[in-house]
Structure 1
Amino acid sequence: MTICSTRWTTGILTIGALTASPLSGAMAVAPSATAAYTEQCNSNQVTSVGVTPGYSITRPAYQSGVDRTANCWMDYGSAGKGAEWLQFSLNSCYGFRLATDGVFGSATRSALASAQGQENITADGQYGTQSSQYLKFPRYREITGDRSGCESIN
């Protein structure tokens, strides 16, 4: 009995020491979910990469000066042209009736989570890499600019 309880106590002390050791020194902190992104989406970007030849899609993007990247994020409380384009896209491609006011509120979050679920990606109501790649966005014919349905880059 003494041997078993000694082993059990030693095991608990070992686990406690391993758990406490990272806390005693410098603490490693995981980067936030948005750390991998350039910035909050504030514009939109036209791309034909990954889209049916002869067509392009327009999706939310971050713009700084003349440079734009689709590597951006949005979440509840975000506001601006990126949120407005997301709302327009959700209305156009998924049939929602969101106000296109550029304010990422609870209705936009719910609609985004629903669209994410339809595309079988993480349905968290936050816009990021998966949403940028897998959600459908308005598609345009490159020669005429005519709207032609919706498409994702995947």
Structure 2
Amino acid sequence: MALSFPSLPKLSGRTVAVLAAAGALAVGAVAAGASKDQPAASPSMDAPAAAPPQAAPAADTNSARTAAAAAALPQCRSAMLVPVNRSWGIPMPSVYGSASTYCNLMYGDDPHRGSTVFGDPDTAIRILQRNLNFCYGTKLAVDGVYGSNTRAVVKTVQRRHKLVADGIYGPKTRSAMNWRLYSMATRSWSKGCSSPL
């Protein structure tokens, strides 16, 4: 009689990497605790049993993932006009010295994050603040500082577009939110906002 086993779900590359890291940590901990000269300690009857490890709350896990993802992206330190069609473009935060808008802005960007002093994050933040004011009717001070008010408005926009409300402006928020368009040919702004990305 042949045994049949249920098929296992396919794991994503990220899941495999997390499992591999956890396995490596466990092997390292066992290797560090074991020594050729000393036998492994056995639990005594008097010592209380260690409590089983508890899983981290989902909110903590999500915020840790969000923080890790934000740290992996560069800070928006410039602004550029991203073409939508022949006549219209969107002014938006971008990476300094690049045509990429795959960057982020977060609470405390005033004006540079980390040790990098190149670029102009003040302009990137002002572009975002002006757009939030026009397209979402907010009344942010256009001051070039990603403070608590800017973060709160970004969270509101993220909730409105059904994104994780972490208050970090990044690629997902950029692609979901509405933008005011600008025409270089006529040097005029659109009367409304849209999400053409």
The answer as to 2:150 corresponding to 1:108 is yes
Q: Please list every run of 5 or more consecutive structure 2 residues that lacks an aligned counterpart in the other structure.
A: 1-21, 30-64, 111-121
Larger radius of gyration: 2
Partner SS, residue 100 of structure 1: coil
Partner SS, residue 108 of structure 2: coil
Q: Which amino acid aligns with 1:88?
A: R
Aligned length: 128
The answer as to 2:168 corresponding to 1:126 is yes
Task: Compute the displacement of 1:77 (Å).
Answer: 0.2
Task: Compute the displacement of 1:117 (Å).
Answer: 1.8
CA displacement, residues 76-95 of structure 1 (integer Å, 9 cap, x when unaligned): 10132211211111111101
The answer as to 2:117 corresponding to 1:74 is no
CA displacement, residues 91-115 of structure 1 (integer Å, 9 cap, x when unaligned): 1110101011111111000001111
8 Å contact kept, 1:112–1:125: yes
Task: Compute the displacement of 1:116 (Å).
Answer: 1.6
Task: Compute the displacement of 1:61 (Å).
Answer: 1.0
Q: Which amino acid aligns with 2:185?
A: I
User: Counterparts of 1:86 and 1:24 in 2: how far apart (Å)?
Assistant: 47
Q: What is the alpha-carbon root mean square deviation over aligned residues?
A: 2.4
Percent of residue pairs identical:
33
The answer as to 2:77 corresponding to 1:34 is no
CA displacement, residues 18-65 of structure 1 (integer Å, 9 cap, x when unaligned): x77633429xxx89213542x2012212112xx36632111111213x
Which one of 22, 26, 30 corresponds to residue 25 of structure 2? 22
User: Counterparts of 1:87 and 1:73 in 2: how far apart (Å)?
Assistant: 14
8 Å contact kept, 1:43–1:62: yes
If the length of structure 2 is used for normalisation, what is the TM-score?
Answer: 0.57
8 Å contact kept, 1:60–1:83: yes
User: Counterparts of 2:182 and 2:24 in 1: how far apart (Å)?
Assistant: 57
Q: Please list every run of 5 or more consecutive structure 1 residues that lacks an aligned counterpart in the other structure.
A: 1-18
8 Å contact kept, 1:138–1:147: yes
Q: Which has the higher contact order (CA 8 A, sep 6+)?
A: 1
Hey, what does 1:151 align to over in structure 2? Answer: 194
Partner SS, residue 79 of structure 2: strand
CA displacement, residues 114-145 of structure 1 (integer Å, 9 cap, x when unaligned): 11222222222111110121111221234202
If the length of structure 1 is used for normalisation, what is the TM-score?
Answer: 0.71
Partner SS, residue 73 of structure 1: coil
User: Counterparts of 2:123 and 2:135 in 1: how far apart (Å)?
Assistant: 18
